[in-house]
Amino acid sequence: MAKLKEDILMDVRPRDLLKKLSLQDQKVELDIQVPDNFYQTMLEQLLERDYLNYTSEKIFQPESARRAKKIHWLQITRLPIHPNENESYDLLSRWQGVLSSLHAWDYRLIFLLLRNQGETKLFLGTVSSRQEVAAEEAIEQIREAAFGSMPGMGLRTLDEKKAVDEVNLPLLDMNYIGAVTGIPSFRENEKKGMLQTLDQLAFGIRDMYGTEKDYAMLVIADPIRDQEISDIISRYRRLGSQIHTGVRLTAGQSLSRGESMSEQGGVGMGISILSTVLGAIGGSMLGGIMGRSIGMMMGSQIGGMLNKQKQASVSGSASTNQEYLDKFAEYAEVVTDHHVARLNEGRNLGFWNTGVYVLGTSPRDVVTVTGMLRSVYSGDTTYFEPIRLHLFRPDSNALQIVRNRFELLPMAERASRPSETEKEKGAVREEQRAEENWHIFGRVYQYLSTPINTRELSLATSLPRRDVPGLRFVKTAVRFANNPAVIRGDRITLGNIVDTGIIQNTTYDIDVNSLVRHALVAGGTGSGKSTTCKRILSEVIRRDIPVMVIEPAKDDYVRWAIEQNRHLPDEKKFTIYMPGVSEVDGTPVEELRINPYEPAAAPGAKVDLLQHCENFVTLLNACLPSEEVVPILIEEVVDETIRDFAERNDCDYDAGITEPLPKYPDIDRMLEKARDVMKHKSYANMNRDNLTEVLLTRFKSLRRGMRGRILNVPKSTDYHKLFSGNAVINISRLAGSKDKSLVMSLLMQALYEYRMSRYTNDPEYRARAQKNSLCHLTLVEEAHNVLLKPQVQKSSGSPQQAAADLFDNLLSEVREYGQGLVVVDQVPTRLIEGAVKNTNYKIVHRLTAPDDQEIMASCMALRDDQKYIIPALEKGNAIICGDEDDAAAWVKMPAPGQDVR
């Protein structure tokens, strides 16, 4: 058998196929033709509006010869700010709310900052584009929008005459005009609103000689409706799509080559041999014909099994490409996306076609003001349409259009109007229409103005944040409780709730009987605290509850009581006590008499002489400077004086509760008893004489001057009449605070004794007091004169200390007897602690001292921002908090003669 041929092994590599394909040998010419300045021109002229740089020499023509629409004006007289966090107060967002409301109503906004004769005035003008909206309604809606977004904002409506005098006439003196175009943007890395406000512009500019310059900044903003905004967005997007096709250009060429190869080999030629052999073997067994058939079949199969075939196919390619990136087109695409985002934001809060114009008395002033505006408007993204400054020639007609008509400056010449014949024939040329709408983005871009959204407009008209002459800032942007406690019983309405400076319809009421737990009224001179107190007193009197006023200074309540007596019935008339005065404006007044030894008691009630004298001794030791053994001697003299006097009237002094004496010893009797007591002392003669002189000197001081007229009397004023009827006690004629404190201490002691006696001996009175009802109200005006926080000094008496201790105990205990107290003072830090801590209602008018603000804010649990409203409160406004309130409330009290809203 022939030897079988070996299998063929194929070795074909890709590099063999590319041996003849060399890129060095293949020269591909890529000829890409790209315009050199097409996208650059489109970017600068169309998107960045570079054509605005060439408008200063332009002569403008008004779009319409029709009479300009009448503008209605509001003056911004005050702006609300936070009392202590002015920088962080989001005045900008609130102003955006006002602008957004105006856009929703389709109102043209005219914002005018007028600097004239050293004063800055802000005006808002408007005219509605809707014929069905009256001008007066538009003005009222602006007012409502301003009050809703910026509570506390002050607006003054100008009638036609005032508008001419305050707006039109000052503008007529400004004969030079310029403009500012470009997109204002914020500087995000700086605090919100910082530096980007009109503060410097509102403050004014001066020349080198200090002369004030008059100028005006005028912003005219026409609202753009949503349909037009959507159309502009579509135009930007279509332009962006076209620009995108030109951002990258690519050219290339490729070459490829492939080869394939196949070979086969086998043992097919052995078929015949094998068939012959098998045929011979089979012929002997099966016969020749069958043997040959089987042999042929098997030989074929074997031959097929031994046949073998291999194939290889290899291909390769090479290409070369060239890409052109147009940076101008790429940036133009970014700009279109940015403007689409701005326009979408305008669909949220509003989009405006806005012109910013500057008027001045000289070209230099206009250039200065426009430069200042550029520094305000330039922000992080202003480069998309940079800020440009324009100064127009005097004959440009810009003054007539802006100053006289308050309209935007049109960029194109007004197209000629077709004649009536042409109108009838419909012969308005298409090119004329194209001329009227020549800008690719629509008519809003055909003015010397900038289409901006509400957020950007709020920056263009950014409100000042500093006080300037003519513009007042009020620190009212603070929230207080709007829902005071509901009073279900007999209530006194003090005033209306105020929130962020806006007076609400909700009233603040107090329960009459809650005054039994006392009240503290604090406030500076002229803050309105006396008006508040008189309102409380009048309401209490109207409920047949007697009141008493202790007035250490002035005669305000004396005159008020005289006025009240003119319409009060006889049983409710005030009794006026004023030592040192016999009459006030023809009205007789009574003398006040206080015998220090006489206890105060209800008619027919017994008295506690022992307890009363112990209190009197404490008072004298505190009021009269003394040291070493003198306080003990004073106590002995007082005790012996009243004991001797009681025994002479058949009264058991040591029994404590006794019948009242028909009369009591006076200061003269105490002097005699002092000499008698000292005679029986076994001191050395010199010491005895010295101590006797010390005692006599101190006791004699009690009978000198006005205090002697009050204290050195055999019988006190009728305490029942004093403490059960309406009364005013004025001790302003007393010389100094020590004398006033001494008299006040005795009055407070007498008041406490009388209330306790009345409670003990009058069942009807006691029943009312046990129900926590108010039975009597005492008001202490200018309480620091008599309730001064004591300055304790070693070995020295302090009349203020005695009054402080007595009043502290009185506040804690006297309410059990139906007695209410109202403490009134200008300086709460000088009062004893009990006056602040043991009073239910705290009524705080304006206080200027930080320590006074702090102590009152602390006792009312005010937040830090609420605390800083106290020095900014206007007259008649107060912060009030009671034990039934969840939080303090800001309340506006009605003026005298007025009722609560």
pLDDT digits (tens, 9 = 90+) for 651-681: 888 777 888 988 899 999 989 888 888 888 8
Flag the least confident range among 147-161, 166-180, 188-202: 188-202
Phi-psi region of 435 (alpha: psi -120 to 50; beta: other; left: phi over 0): alpha
Q: For residue 669, what are its two tokens? A: 């009797």
**Mean pLDDT of all residues in 210-237:** 93
Q: Is the pLDDT of residue 708 over 80?
A: yes
Q: Is the pLDDT of residue 628 over 90?
A: no
507 vs 645, higher pLDDT: 507
Confidence at residue 284, expressed as pLDDT on a 0 to 100 scale: 40
Residue 25 and residue 35: Cα distance in Å, rounded? 31
Confidence at residue 88, expressed as pLDDT on a 0 to 100 scale: 56
Flag the least confident range among 86-90, 277-281, 570-574, 656-660: 277-281
**Mean pLDDT of all residues in 96-122:** 90
Q: Which amino acid is at 792?
A: V
Q: Is the pLDDT of residue 174 over 90?
A: yes
Confidence at residue 741, expressed as pLDDT on a 0 to 100 scale: 80
Domains belonging to the chain, first-starting first, are: 69-234+333-411+447-473 (3.40.462), 270-303 (no CATH), 478-583+774-792+800-805+815-901 (3.40.50.300)
Burial track 532-556 (b if 16+ CB lie within 10 A, e otherwise): bbbbbbebbbeeebbbbbbbbeebb
Flag the least confident range among 33-37, 348-352, 741-745: 33-37
534 vs 417, higher pLDDT: 534
Q: Within the chain, how many helices (H) and strands (E) appear? A: 30, 27
Highest mean pLDDT: which range of 179-188, 646-655, 675-684: 179-188
Per residue in 448-497, pLDDT tens? 999 999 999 999 999 888 888 888 888 887 889 988 888 888 999 999 99
Residue 561's pLDDT band (cuts 50, 70, 90) = very high
Flag the least confident range among 317-321, 428-432, 501-505, 744-748: 428-432
Residue 203 and residue 474: Cα distance in Å, rounded? 17
- Among 883, 623, 618, smallest CA distance to 741 is for 623
Per residue in 874-894, pLDDT tens? 999 999 999 889 999 999 999
Q: Is the pLDDT of residue 139 over 90?
A: no
Confidence at residue 35, expressed as pLDDT on a 0 to 100 scale: 57
What number of residues does the chain have? 901
Q: Is the pLDDT of residue 33 over 80?
A: no
Question: Where would I find the beta strands (DSSP E) of 500-557?
Answer: 502-511, 519-522, 547-551
Distances (CA, A) of 180 to 177, 357, 399, 443, 703: 11, 6, 15, 19, 83
| Strand-strand pairing, 657-658 and 607-608 | antiparallel
Flag the least confident range among 144-148, 231-235, 591-595, 838-842: 144-148
**Mean pLDDT of all residues in 132-152:** 76
Flag the least confident range among 103-107, 308-312, 339-343, 594-598: 308-312
Other CB atoms within a 10 A radius of the CB of residue 214 amount to 20
**Mean pLDDT of all residues in 603-627:** 82
Residue 475 and residue 152: Cα distance in Å, rounded? 9
Residue 110's pLDDT band (cuts 50, 70, 90) = very high
Distances (CA, A) of 51 to 437, 447, 820: 16, 11, 80
Residue 427's pLDDT band (cuts 50, 70, 90) = very low
H helices of 219-362, where? 226-244, 271-285, 288-306, 327-349
Q: Which H/E stretch holds residue 222? A: strand 215-224
Confidence at residue 372, expressed as pLDDT on a 0 to 100 scale: 94
Residue 502's pLDDT band (cuts 50, 70, 90) = confident
Other CB atoms within a 10 A radius of the CB of residue 410 amount to 18
Confidence at residue 146, expressed as pLDDT on a 0 to 100 scale: 84
| Cα–Cα–Cα angle for 599, 602, 607, rounded to 5 degrees | 40
Phi, psi of 25 (to 5 degrees): -90, -15
616 vs 278, higher pLDDT: 616
| Cα–Cα–Cα angle for 554, 854, 778, rounded to 5 degrees | 40
Q: For residue 479, what are its two tokens? A: 């929230």
Confidence at residue 275, expressed as pLDDT on a 0 to 100 scale: 43
**Mean pLDDT of all residues in 6-25:** 45
**812 in helix, strand or coil?**
helix
Q: Which amino acid is at 552?
A: P
Q: Is the pLDDT of residue 330 over 60?
A: yes
824 vs 620, higher pLDDT: 824
Please answer whether residues 503 and 892 qualify as being in contact, where contact means their C-beta atoms are separated by less than 8 angstroms.
Answer: yes
DSSP code of residue 883: T
Flag the least confident range among 92-106, 111-125, 137-151, 154-168: 137-151
**Mean pLDDT of all residues in 359-375:** 95
What contacts 791, CB < 8 A, 6 or more positions away? Answer: 798, 800
| Strand-strand pairing, 248-265 and 308-325 | antiparallel
Q: Is the pLDDT of residue 8 over 50?
A: no
Which position has the token pair 């097919």? 268
- Among 160, 164, 124, 130, smallest CA distance to 143 is for 124
H helices of 712-837, where? 719-724, 737-761, 763-770, 799-813, 833-837
**Sign (positive/negative) of CA torsion 782, 784, 785, 787?**
positive
**Mean pLDDT of all residues in 209-213:** 85
Q: Is the pLDDT of residue 297 over 50?
A: no
**423 in helix, strand or coil?**
helix
**Mean pLDDT of all residues in 163-174:** 94
Q: Which amino acid is at 83?
A: P
Rg (CA), the chain: 51
Q: Is the pLDDT of residue 393 over 60?
A: yes
**Mean pLDDT of all residues in 585-604:** 93
What contacts 65, CB < 8 A, 6 or more positions away? Answer: none
Residue 559 and residue 574: Cα distance in Å, rounded? 11
Confidence at residue 413, expressed as pLDDT on a 0 to 100 scale: 56
Confidence at residue 273, expressed as pLDDT on a 0 to 100 scale: 35
Flag the least confident range among 169-173, 420-424, 501-505, 839-843: 420-424
Q: For residue 899, what are its two tokens? A: 């009722």
Q: Is the pLDDT of residue 1 over 50?
A: no
Distances (CA, A) of 741 to 664, 785, 794: 23, 7, 20
CA atoms within 13 A of residue 296's CA, in its CB half-sphere: 6
Q: Report the Cα 574 to chain-centroid distance in Å.
A: 46
Residue 277's pLDDT band (cuts 50, 70, 90) = very low
Please answer whether residues 844 and 879 qualify as being in contact, where contact means their C-beta atoms are separated by less than 8 angstroms.
Answer: yes
